[in-house]
Structure 1
Amino acid sequence: MRSRPALALILVGGIAQIGIAEMSAVRAAPAPAPATEAPARPAAAPVVLANHRAVYDLSLGSSGGTRAVDSARGRIALEFKGDACQGYTMQTRQVTVLESAETGSRTSDLRNTTFEGGDGHEFRFRTASATNGTSSPTVDGNATSEGDAFKVRLKEPKRDQFGEAGPVLFPSLHMRRLIEAARTGETTLAAKVFDGSDDGRKVYDTLAVIGRPSTGPTQAAGSERDRPLREGALASVQRWPVTLSYFTQGKGERTPIYTLSFDLYDNGVSGALKLDYGDFAIVGDLTRLDLDKGPDKPCRP
């Protein structure tokens, strides 16, 4: 299995970015229109994202094909806080160990900090990563997105800037749009998304497929999986199964870089996590969830 560059992706429920050092192609699938973002949809009530701390333990879900891995383990720890008035901050650390008979053991360690303005127009990001103990250049920058104007200014690893046609969504706004779409019964949402991952230069086309809502204890495979969601305050919160595919930008039918499936809860927390890279898949078991007490009234910027 040949090495691929580290790539961060959105863990939509917690807005986390996950670094994976080994990537594989997945099945070809229809890609979303690159320049069109679905408009915001009315919701019965404002989307309020839960301030929380979460820990996901990672393990190998399946493996096969030319770039299969023999085992996978790791952990994601994240803290998310903020609101639509003050903006949203997130701190994440994720460590993944992949074992392969072909390439041996590979450990990736990712630390990420982001801030997103409550209106979704401003985004700051900083990522430090290492592979097998060797540090990669830090990625540090900020981005703005207003209508059709999208710009990124990088401070590290070297000063640079670029822009492209919008609209482009940042992670928190993308998640709020997903919840709005799910609440109103939409089954798909296509959007261009920027999360500062990889080298800070990637804008992805995304396509989300949203399933039917449900409530009650999660039915995630494995009797012990996602225990905080089975027994905690979220056991009665509405959720939707979501499959979210990420594509490099382009036109026509393309192969997604990876596919993320999860249960999306109405407050933005996620469970039943699965990251599918085609030749192997990694599952995430939510082992700890600390929810902060919510505000008495939703923030109205």
Structure 2
Amino acid sequence: MFRSSLAALLLASVSANAWAGAPAASAAAATGLIAHRAVYDLELKDASDRSGIAGMYGRMVYEFDGSYCQGFTTNFRFVTQINTGDSVRVSDQQTTTFENLKDGKFTFDTKSFTDDQLDKEVNGAAQDQPGGVKVDLKQPANRELQLAESRFPTEHMLDVIQNAKDGKRFFEARVFDGSDDGDKALVTTTIVGKQQTPVAEEADAGNAGAFSKTAFWPVTIAYFNENAKSDALPVYRMSFKLYENGITRDLTMDYGDFVLTGKLAKLELLERKAEVCK
């Protein structure tokens, strides 16, 4: 009830043209993002009877590298062991994306495995165009799509950080990240809390290394289908603690029928060579 009421409030407060003319991410803002590899330990927090999940745990590895000049590469791996009570299976999702902020280009490739067997592959490329996004899909089927104007993932992260710095607590955006079948964008509503400093009880704060005592923003992003009714529940909701440099920790991933937590287990900063944009 709380989620649907909140979503309806946010959707009603923003016009249908809220995304039109969204400014391109600036080089100055993008240089604030830190190249890093983060490892998260995943645990099942809650599961409904309908989910069919008796137990679940795993690990997520997120690697972010690149620059405004060369583009940003993300490598993401999400491995979980799922116990249904009758059987146990291992799910493994591997995703690589590349985002060129200067040219408005985004490529994506996701492979999903169950017990080491490939179940699904989705890959393609998207390009910003006046008034929309053109998507060229290669897998699971060769298709060309025209979608409404959308933000790509790094653009959206920069929007979240900028809004947090500006004290803007609620905002909405349409985001295309190539997930699911790579053929649609999702409408997102973002709630940004007041900046906070870690307290001693936060178990994974110490694993943030040099940032263990750095201030962060609590952020919640809900993802909705494009044509969802105003009282619809989100497809997916994620809460996390966000640093100004793009690093996140203390994740909660709500899929509706089950909820996972992700605690930062290890953080490694990656070297990035200085460069001059041409």
TM range (shorter): 0.7 to 0.9
Moved over 3 A (4+): 31-35, 38-43, 216-220, 293-297
Look up the equivalent residue of 1:196 and give its one-letter code.
Answer: G
Q: 2:4 aligns with which of 28, 44, 51?
A: 28
CA distance in 1, matches of 2:158, 2:78: 24
Alignment partner, residue 53 of structure 1? 37
- After TM superposition, the structure 1 = structure 2 runs for residues 113-152 of structure 1, keeping only pairs within 5 Å, are 113-119=96-102, 121-152=104-135
- After TM superposition, the structure 1 = structure 2 runs for residues 35-46 of structure 1, keeping only pairs within 5 Å, are 35-37=17-19, 39=22, 46=29
Alignment partner, residue 10 of structure 1? none
Alignment partner, residue 140 of structure 2? 157
1:227 Cα offset (Å): 3.2
CA distance in 2, matches of 1:201, 1:106: 28
Alignment partner, residue 19 of structure 1? none
Q: What secondary structure, in the 3-state scheme, does the structure 2 residue paired with 1:172 have?
A: helix
CA distance in 1, matches of 2:137, 2:255: 29
CA distance in 2, matches of 1:127, 1:110: 7
Q: 1:190 aligns with which of 172, 183, 189?
A: 172
1:92 Cα offset (Å): 1.6
- Asked if the contact 1:35/1:192 (under 8 Å) is kept, the reply is no
* 1:109 maps onto 2:92 in alignment: yes
Look up the equivalent residue of 1:94 and give its one-letter code.
Answer: F
1:134 Cα offset (Å): 2.8
1:173 Cα offset (Å): 0.4
Look up the equivalent residue of 2:188 and give its one-letter code.
Answer: T
CA distance in 2, matches of 1:274, 1:49: 22
- Asked if the contact 2:205/2:212 (under 8 Å) is kept, the reply is no
**Whose helix proportion is higher, 1 or 2?**
2
Look up the equivalent residue of 2:93 and give its one-letter code.
Answer: L
The alignment's TM-score, normalised by the length of structure 1, stands at 0.80
Q: 2:183 aligns with which of 197, 201, 206?
A: 201
- Asked if the contact 1:55/1:289 (under 8 Å) is kept, the reply is yes
- Asked if the contact 1:59/1:73 (under 8 Å) is kept, the reply is yes
Look up the equivalent residue of 2:270 and give its one-letter code.
Answer: D
Mark the runs of 5 or more structure 2 residues left unpaired by the alignment.
Answer: none
The alignment's TM-score, normalised by the length of structure 2, stands at 0.86
Look up the equivalent residue of 2:97 and give its one-letter code.
Answer: T
CA distance in 2, matches of 1:210, 1:268: 14
1:216 Cα offset (Å): 4.2
Mark the runs of 5 or more structure 1 residues left unpaired by the alignment.
Answer: 1-25
Pick 1 or 2: higher relative contact order, CA cutoff 8 A, min separation 6.
1
* 1:79 maps onto 2:63 in alignment: yes
Alignment partner, residue 6 of structure 1? none
1:157 Cα offset (Å): 2.6
Instruction: Between 133-142 and 108-117, report the one with greater CA deviation.
Output: 133-142
1:28 Cα offset (Å): 2.8
CA distance in 1, matches of 2:24, 2:181: 32
Identity %: 35
* 1:228 maps onto 2:207 in alignment: yes
Cα separation, partners in 2 of 1:254 and 1:130, compared to 1, 3 Å? same
- Asked if the contact 1:68/1:280 (under 8 Å) is kept, the reply is no
CA distance in 2, matches of 1:279, 1:136: 22
Alignment partner, residue 175 of structure 1? 157
Q: 2:226 aligns with which of 244, 249, 252?
A: 249
CA distance in 2, matches of 1:218, 1:210: 22
Alignment partner, residue 5 of structure 1? none
- Asked if the contact 2:92/2:112 (under 8 Å) is kept, the reply is yes
CA distance in 1, matches of 2:172, 2:230: 14
- Asked if the contact 1:206/1:246 (under 8 Å) is kept, the reply is yes
